[in-house]
Amino acid sequence: MRLSSFSGQVNQNFTEGAVESTPALEQGLKNGMEAVAGKLPGQSVSGEVLLRNGSDILISMGKNQLLQAKLEGNMSAQPGQLLTFQIKHNSSSKIVLSPLFENTSQDPNVSKALMAAGLPENSVTAGMVRAMMQEGLSINRQSLYQMNRMINANPQTDIQTLVQMQRLSLPITPENIVQFEAYKNYQHQLGESLSDIAEAFTQTFQEITGSGNMEEGLGFYKEVLGILAGEMEDGAAEGTVKEAIQGQENGQAQQIQQTQKDAAKLGAALEETAKDASTKDVPVKNGAEQVMPKAMPELPPEETTELARQLRQAGFPRNLTNAVLSGQISSRKLLGEVEKMLSDENIPDREAVYKLLEGKEFKHLLKNEMTRQWMLTPEEVAQEGSVDKLYERLNSQLNRLNQVLSQTGKENTPLAKSISNTTSNIDFMNQMNQMFTYVQLPLKMQGKNANGELFVYTNKKSLAKKEGSVSALLHLDMEHLGSVDVHVTLNNQKVSTKFYLKDDSILDFIAQNIDKLNKRLESRGYSATAEFINREEDTNVMEEILKQDKNISMLSGYSFDARA
Q: What total of structural domains would you count in the chain?
A: 3
Same domain, 65 and 122: no
Same domain, 130 and 59: no
Q: Are 106 and 29 in contact (CB under 8 A)?
A: no
Q: Output the pLDDT for position 263.
A: 55
Same domain, 423 and 539: yes
Residue 80 lies in a domain: yes
Q: How far is CA 66 from CA 6, 35, 130, 523, in A?
A: 11, 9, 20, 59
Residue 202 lies in a domain: no
Residue 356 lies in a domain: no
Distance (Å, whole) CA 47 – CA 4: 16
Q: Output the pLDDT for position 171.
A: 93
Distance (Å, whole) CA 477 – CA 498: 16
Q: Are 475 and 452 in contact (CB under 8 A)?
A: yes
Distance (Å, whole) CA 5 – CA 1: 7
Strands 95-99, 449-457: pairing kind: unpaired
Q: Output the pLDDT for position 553.
A: 35
Same domain, 99 and 113: no
Residue 316 lies in a domain: no
Instruction: With CA atoms as reference, report the closest residue to 397 among 204, 193, 225.
Output: 225
Same domain, 134 and 56: no
Domain extent for 84: 3-104
Output the DSSP codes for 36-67: HTTPPBTBEEEEEEEEEETTEEEEE-SSS-EE
Same domain, 531 and 426: yes
Q: Are 437 and 560 in contact (CB under 8 A)?
A: yes
Query: Could you give the count of Cα atoms lying within 13 Å of 431 in the half-sphere of its Cβ?
Result: 19
Q: Are 482 and 502 in contact (CB under 8 A)?
A: yes
Same domain, 98 and 112: no
CATH number for the domain that contains residue 72 = 2.40.50.140
Distance (Å, whole) CA 65 – CA 25: 9
Please say which residue of 80, 104, 128 terminates a domain. 104
Where does 122-158 have alpha helices with state H? 123-134, 141-153
Query: Interior CA angle at 115 toward 111 and 117, to 5°?
Result: 120
Same domain, 98 and 114: no
Same domain, 479 and 429: yes
Q: Are 184 and 540 in contact (CB under 8 A)?
A: yes
Q: Output the pLDDT for position 212.
A: 67
Instruction: With CA atoms as reference, report the closest residue to 432 among 546, 550, 262, 264.
Output: 546
Q: Output the pLDDT for position 400.
A: 92
Please say which residue of 149, 167, 185 terminates a domain. 167
DSSP 4: G
- Helix (H) or strand (E) run with residue 442 in it: strand 437-444
Same domain, 46 and 127: no
Residue 338 lies in a domain: no
Instruction: With CA atoms as reference, report the closest residue to 548 among 179, 232, 164.
Output: 164
Distance (Å, whole) CA 427 – CA 4: 46
Please say which residue of 104, 120, 148 terminates a domain. 104
Same domain, 57 and 114: no
Q: Output the pLDDT for position 495.
A: 84
Residue 17 lies in a domain: yes
Q: Output the pLDDT for position 482.
A: 76
Q: How far is CA 517 from CA 4, 244, 268, 354, 526, in A?
A: 66, 35, 10, 50, 11
pLDDT tens for the 564 residues of the chain, in order: 333 344 344 434 443 444 445 788 888 888 888 888 888 887 888 888 888 887 888 988 877 889 988 887 655 567 877 777 888 888 877 788 876 644 544 567 788 889 999 998 888 898 899 889 888 888 999 999 999 999 999 988 989 899 999 988 899 999 999 999 988 887 888 888 888 888 888 788 877 777 667 788 888 889 999 998 874 433 333 333 333 323 334 444 454 455 555 555 555 555 554 555 444 333 333 333 333 333 455 688 889 999 999 999 999 999 999 999 988 888 899 999 999 999 888 888 888 998 899 889 999 999 889 988 999 887 787 787 888 899 999 999 999 999 988 888 888 888 899 999 999 999 999 888 877 788 898 988 766 778 888 888 864 444 445 556 788 888 887 777 778 888 888 887 888 888 888 878 878 887 888 887 788 778 878 888 888 888 777 677 888 888 775 543 333 233 334 433
Q: Output the pLDDT for position 306.
A: 93
Residue 115 lies in a domain: yes
Instruction: With CA atoms as reference, report the closest residue to 468 among 487, 489, 450, 484.
Output: 489
Distance (Å, whole) CA 153 – CA 401: 32
Distance (Å, whole) CA 304 – CA 310: 10
Same domain, 279 and 426: yes
